[in-house]
Amino acid sequence: MENKNKEKETKENFFSFVSVFVIAIILAFFIRSFIFSSNLVIGESMEPTLHERNRLISLIFPKYFTDPKRGDIVIIDAPEEKGKEYIKRVIGIPGDNVEVIDGHFYINGDLYDEDYIEEGILTEIYNTDFWTLQENEFFVAGDNRRPGKSMDSRYFGPVNKKTIRGIVKLRFWPIKEIGIVGGLNGK
């Protein structure tokens, strides 16, 4: 009788452990898919704002309720490479006319103030110098405007809202640079 009770208790403990493990995996998947994700900066396309090996937290859930704002830093699916993601800043939002004139972005005819880019560096044109953004289209660019340093909407055109994976809100590594990132003209 005692053996059967121990056997029953062992089975119950095993199933309890498996249940907790399965719930933890489902919860982690839910959080990673719908709440927030951790991202690693690879490359220099967002310098001087973000640097190689910075670690970021991006929020996923806001994209279900609102569009990214001009100035937000976002994680997007790389248009030309399946499975790869880019980190870029939103320059233009749906309905905007985005233009590059004399090395500077103009939004709907007004000079767009970008205090986060390196002083004295001009924005190059790759394929065209004017874009009209349709519904659900966003124009994104890297903060590093040195020639050839950022693969962005100047090269591949506007991105669709459905390719935006999250909005970057926090840098948590390195510890000495921990803090809020992104937002309108914010570092």
Separation between Cα atoms, residue 40 and residue 173, nearest integer Å: 9
Catalytic residue among 45, 58, 150, 153: 45
Is residue 88 among the annotated active site residues? yes
Residues in contact with 68: Cβ distance below 8 Å, sequence separation at least 6, in sequence order: 74, 90, 93, 138, 164, 167
Q: Six-digit token pair at 152?
A: 């962005």
Catalytic residue among 37, 88, 150, 153: 88
Is residue 149 among the annotated active site residues? no
Helix, strand, coil abundance in the chain, percent, nearest 5: 25, 30, 45
- At residue 177, the 3 state secondary structure works out as helix
For the annotated catalytic residues, the residue numbers are 45, 88
